Amino acid sequence: MSAVAGSGTAWLSHPLAMVARFCAAFWQEVTRDAVRPYRPERHYMRGPGPAWQAKHGRMP
């Protein structure tokens, strides 16, 4: 009888592990942007581009 009970728990643990992995991955995806700090310097231009420089000359 213990062999039957053991095989049932092995069958049940696999789907539960899959659900747990899915939930963990989903939670990481949802909270990833919330904990990543905002870095404004990555979004600002760093000066005139090559087209502007060709039209107006080099900046001093």
Domain ranges of the chain: 1-38
pLDDT of residue 59: 66
Amino acid at the residue 13: S
Cα–Cα dist 26/14, whole Å: 18
- Contact between 59 and 48 under an 8 Å Cβ cutoff? The reply is yes
Q: How far apart are the first and last CA of the chain?
A: 88
The residue ranges of the chain whose pLDDT is under 50 are 1
* Structure token pair of residue 33: 């942007």
- Contact between 47 and 59 under an 8 Å Cβ cutoff? The reply is yes
pLDDT of residue 9: 58
Q: What's the pTM value of the predicted model, to 2 decimals?
A: 0.41
Cα–Cα dist 13/46, whole Å: 54
